[in-house]
Amino acid sequence: MKDRTVKMKICRGESPGSVIYIPHGGGPWPLLGDPRHINLIEFLKAVPGLLTQPSAILVISAHWEEQHPTLISAASPPLFYDYYGFPQETYSISYSAPGNPQLAREILHIFEENGIQAALEGSRGYDHGLFVPLKLMYPEAVIPCIQLSLLDSLNPVEHIRIGTVLRDLQEENLLIIGSGSSFHNLTAFRNNTAGEENYWNETFENWLVETLTGDHLSEKERRTRLEHWVDAPFAQYCHPREEHLLPLHVCYGVAGCPAKRVIEVEFMGKKTSSYIW
C-alpha cells in the first residue's frame, strides 16, 4: 500500500464532510479474509483514520444502474447479495446500518431543483458495493447510509454533473464514497495475467493519478480528461465496461478540485488507486 499526499487548495471535499473513491474488491472475498485481498482489507480498515468521523454516508456503487439517479430511501434497508457462486456463508452476511429517508428526500429535491429527474427506491437493499467495504470500515453499522445509483447511460459527463449537483448538500459530516475500482477487467483478475498486461494496468493508473492530482492541470483540463477517459492509454483494457470507474467521476464532480491524497492498493495481482478529497 503506497500513500501519496498532495498539496492542494481547499475544496468541497474538506468541508462539510469528506469525499473518497475506493476499490471494494471482488464480490464478498474481502469479508472472507481472502489472501488476494489482504492489502485491500488492511486499507479499508484504515480508511476511517484518514477521514472525519461521519454522521451520515452516501455511497455511489458500481453495482446499481438506473435510467435516472435513484436513491435507496428505506429506513432499514435489507442486503442485496448481488453475486453468484460464492461460499454459502456469504449469503448470510449482515450489515444493519440504518437508512436515512430524510436525507434521501433532500437529495431528490436537490436533483429536481437542478433539472435532473431522479427517484426514490424503497425496497432495494444495499448491494455489495456498499456493505462489503463498510463492514470493514465501519463494522458497528450505526452510521445512517444512503445508496445512489449510477446512470445506465454510463455517460461520464452526466456522472460528473451528478457530483456537481451534490455540492448543494448542506449535511454536516457527510461522507461521500464512490465504490468501484480503478482497474476492473474480470478476465485479467481470473487469469492472474502478468507481464505486458501489468504494464498496461500501471500505465493507466499513472494517467489516472496525474489526472486527479496534477497541479499543472486546470480544472477544465482535469474535467476534460475524465470526460474523455476512454482516450487514456490502455483505458479499455483496464475497463472493458466502465461502471467501476464512474463512481470516481461523481466524486470528482462533488469536489471540483485535485485529490489531496492517493493511496495505491494492489489486490488480485493488479494495481488500483483510492482518492481522497
CA dihedral over 224, 219, 212, 173, signed as positive or negative = negative
Q: At what angle do helices 219-227 and 196-213 cross, to 10 degrees?
A: 140
Cα–Cα distance measured from residue 223 to residue 59, given in angstroms and rounded to the nearest whole number: 21
Residue type at position 216: H
* Sheet of 2-5, strand order: 2-5, 261-267, 270-276, 18-23, 174-180, 56-66, 145-151, 70-72, 119-121
pLDDT-derived band at 5 (thresholds 50, 70, 90) equals low
Among the listed residues 133, 153, 140, the one whose alpha carbon sits nearest the alpha carbon of residue 60:
133
Cβ(223)–Cβ(158) below 8 Å: no
Q: What is the pLDDT of residues 217-247, one digit of tens each?
A: 999 999 999 999 999 999 999 999 999 999 9
| CA torsion, ordered 251, 253, 257, 258, to nearest 10 deg | 40
- Whole-model pTM: value is 0.94
Residue type at position 90: T
* Domains (range + CATH), the chain: 2-276 (3.40.830.10)
Cα–Cα distance measured from residue 12 to residue 30, given in angstroms and rounded to the nearest whole number: 30
pLDDT at 19 over 50: yes
pLDDT-derived band at 202 (thresholds 50, 70, 90) equals very high
Please give the pLDDT value at position 96. Answer: 98
Cα–Cα distance measured from residue 124 to residue 78, given in angstroms and rounded to the nearest whole number: 7
Please give the share of the chain, as a percent, with pLDDT higher than 70: 94
